[in-house]
Amino acid sequence: MACKRLRRREFLAAFSAMAAGGTLFTRSALALDGQRAGLIRDIRRSVVFDGRNKTDEAAWFQTRACIVPTPDGLNALMTMQRVSGSDYYHPVCSTTSTDLGRTWSEPRPIPGMGRQPADDDTQVGVCDVVPEFHPPTGTVLAMGHNVYYGRGRFFRDQPPRWPVYAVRDASGRWTPTARLVWDDPRGSAIYTCGCSQRVTLPDGDLLIALSFAPKGRTDRMVASVRCGFDGLAVTVEKTSNVLELPKKRGLLEPSLTSFDGRMWMTIRAEDNRGYLATSDDGLKWSSPKPWTWDDGSPLVTSTTQQHWLTHSDGLFLVYTRRAENNRNVFRWRAPMFLAQVDARRQCLIRDTEQVVFPLVGDGVKNGKHVARMGNFGVNHATPRESWITGGECLPKDGYRGDVLLARVAWNRPNRLAAGGIV
């Protein structure tokens, strides 16, 4: 068994080195050069699963993918689940592709990520799952959090909630779901990393961002935890300082990346802003500051997550925001945009903004019938291409919607692709 795992690790290491072309590194000079030259060649869009034309099934939502290197080439795995009510999710499923996203298998439930009876009146399920490949162990870690339903719907006064995860090995088998244990009283009501991008550190440890609150507190705080992961179990080892914004529900759905020698965190909030914090080591974070454009004006967004699109030569943010054509779309969750980050000034470069997924319909006169795209995923696919996956949601039209894939083609190879370690 040890020899078999060693051979697999040697293969993954060789594959990563071949794809990266050497040691992974970034410098401010490269980042600035990337801004001048323009890293993005184009964005190509396709429909993975047609859901707009099916009236007998709820839409697939929470669609997030990762790339899994194998001896036979690159495979893709995407987790997803149907949604048929406000935050009312069906079992988590996975689908795979062996041709870099051109065709996908029939989605199948992940064992242990369905609904189970919690008591006589409620069920407990799993939602907000993010799958990421872990090169040192050759596994996929799919992590979300638990959620409770009663009388066929989500209810606001939830029992305590926490992250849950399952691990998929190289043969495609999933482990039973497990709880990420964090014995901190500040998370007695909820602690979650749902929808969050993680960072795999060079030694195989994980850096995970948590949003949490104790019982009796309505606004959540944010911190990161450094975790060990052996391919089976995730264990918390260290906790960072705490970030706070006591407005409405506070700070939500933080996502992490590593770029230009530091860690970056983007955070959803409820004051029409998204927030940014940075850290040299992932355990001591700067005070959160609202995202702005390079002219100093704010990025105006409405309680919706943002995620990172990271190239070895440049950093990008993917987000939704207020625009002229979406004033009556729920939380301005269409269209979806991306823009490059000025790493030195820590702001967004307005001239680099592009549409990832366009708004379909009339967001001014008929916003209720525009598909919302606020829950999505970003991943490295190959050195030449990164993916953004999103599931449309049309609550006023029977919760229908397509699963969308945007392929971001790079002008220069992304040395972060295929290895997964930043």
- Parse the chain into domains and list their residue ranges: 2-410
DSSP three-state, residue 334: coil
Q: Is 331 helix (H, G, I), strand (E, B) or coil?
A: helix
Contacts of 14 (CB under 8 A, 6+ apart): none
Q: Residue 186 corresponds to which amino acid?
A: R
pLDDT of residue 55: 76
Angle at 70 between CA 128 and CA 197, to 5 degrees: 25
> pTM for the whole thing?
0.91
Distance between CA 254 and CA 275 in Å, rounded? 9
Going from the first residue of the chain to its last (422 residues), give the mean pLDDT of each consecutive group of 10, the final group possibly shorter.
38 37 35 61 97 87 97 96 95 98 98 93 97 97 98 94 98 97 98 98 97 97 98 98 97 98 98 98 98 98 97 98 98 98 98 98 98 95 97 94 98 81 40
Q: Are 164 and 158 in contact (CB under 8 A)?
A: no
Task: Please report the pLDDT score of residue 155 as a whole number.
Answer: 95
Q: CA 98, 198, 376, 71: dihedral to nearest 10 degrees?
A: 0
Say which residue the tokens 């997964």 belong to. Answer: 420
Give DSSP secondary structure letters for 162-228: -EEEEEE-TTSPBPPPEE-----GGGSSEEE-TT---EE-TTS-EEEEEEEE-TT--SBEEEEEEEE
Note the pLDDT of residue 54.
80
Nearest Cα residue to 104 out of 59, 63, 49: 49
Identify whether the C-beta of residue 418 lies closer than 8 Å to the C-beta of residue 380: yes
pLDDT, position 57: 84
Tokens of 366: 């008929």
Q: Quick one: CATH architecture of 2-410?
A: 6 Propeller (2.120)
pLDDT at 340: 98
Which segments within 280-359 are labelled E, that is strand? 289-290, 307-311, 314-320, 336-342, 347-348, 354-357
Bridge partners of 314, per DSSP, are 311
Residue 11 confidence (pLDDT) = 36
How far apart CA 175 and CA 327 sit, in angstroms, is 44
Confidence at residue 37, expressed as pLDDT on a 0 to 100 scale: 54
Taking the C-alpha atoms of residue 347 and residue 290, their distance in angstroms, rounded to an integer, is 9
Tally the residues of the chain. 422
Specify the pLDDT at position 120: 84
* Residue in 171, 163, 212 with CA at minimum distance from that of residue 190: 212
